[in-house]
Chain A
Amino acid sequence: MVIREAPVHDGGPTPGRPRAAVVRDALGVGVAVGLSGFAFGVTAAGAGISVLQACVLSLLVFTGASQFALVGALAAGGNPFTAAAGAFFLGTRNAFYGLRLSQLLALPRAVRPFAAHWVIDETTAVSLAQPDRKAARLGFTVTGLSLYVLWNLTTLLGALGAEAIGDTSAWGLDAAGPAVFLALLAPMLKTSTERAVAGLALVLGLGFLPVLPSGVPVLIAALAAPAVLWMKGRRS
């Protein structure tokens, strides 16, 4: 697994991780997830989204879960406002990633509007796994760049090739998304607090799914974090 718990730096004079190790980890994530843009392109085409529209989404939205949610909602005949709301709600998690990254990367103000476009699950996970700021900045940049280039390239190829491949589910490509999420989640489950949050979020996310509009159950599941912290606070 690429995104391992970062080794604790003993504070000695040795620098953090070697650049090559950071680049290797970042490229591992960037290439693997970047290639899954193919699944998005295929899904978008299957949902009746044009090649141009699929490419615009990958270029300008660039957050996979929101993109999948949007084309899914449009395919189901949802109106543009509910469809966009679902995608937006899914994207709100990136604000919380940004919250952590702004502290970790300490980017100059002028760079932030550009860096913001790359604040997503994968760049956050790679950056957080690094032991120091220099490695985190390198990890963020390499993951962001490789993922952005590949995600857009494979979106185009996927949308164009959708007819050639036929039924994408038959190829198991619909399992790629959740597998990516699981791989990002696994190294975060360090203590019983994280496991309790994940467990409660899972129950809330699935429990409310049949009854609430797309995207809303995920936001309710996010309440697992304050809920578990509150329960822990009461117990101690």
Chain B
Amino acid sequence: MNVWIAIGLTVVGCYAVKLAGLLVPAGALERPLVRRLSALLPVALLAALTAQQTFSTGHELVLDARAAGLAAAAVALLLRAPFLVVVGAAVVVTAGVRALGG
């Protein structure tokens, strides 16, 4: 039951914020500050999410095989590899380092 409560709240909350973004009046975007801010917010959020999902487990900061995987993805990005190759490089290198005991 608890799981269904959590799912229900998440469904409603996540949809509400998605819709709110689309329904904000266009006039709000004509101010340069709002425009700059809304362009920079995804940068901040994606950077934080990348770092957290690479260097943490729960509430602990950790350095494990995922860091090597992310480094491989970064190299693939610098080489302008296609999206699937970037993600594949991260998965394969992470699995490889773990297999080697890293």
Q: Is the interface of B mostly helix, strand, loop or mixed?
A: helix
Interface pick from A11-19, A130-138, A154-162, A165-173: A165-173
Q: Is the interface of A mostly helix, strand, loop or mixed?
A: helix
Interface range, A side: 35 or more
Given the known inter-chain contacts A103-B26, A198-B47, please indicate yes or no for A178 contacting B10, CB distance below 8 A. no
Interface positions of A (Cβ within 8 A of B): 1-4, 28-29, 31-33, 36, 49-50, 53, 56-57, 60-63, 65-66, 70, 72-74, 76, 79-81, 83-84, 87-88, 90-103, 107, 112-113, 115-117, 119-121, 124, 169-186, 188-189, 193-194, 197-202, 204-206, 209-211, 214, 217-218, 221-226, 228-229
Interface positions of B (Cβ within 8 A of A): 2-7, 9-11, 13-15, 17-24, 26, 28-29, 33-34, 36-56, 58-61, 65-66, 69-70, 73-74, 77, 80-84, 86-87, 89-96, 98-99
Q: From the candidates B11, B61, B77, B91, name the one contacting A182 in the complex (CB within 8 A).
A: B77
* Minimum C-beta distance from A197 to chain B (A): 5
> Which of chain B's residues have a CB closer than 8 A to the CB of A121?
42, 46
The answer to whether A96 and B94 touch across the interface, beta carbons within 8 angstroms, is: no
> Which of chain A's residues have a CB closer than 8 A to the CB of B50?
178, 181-182, 185, 202
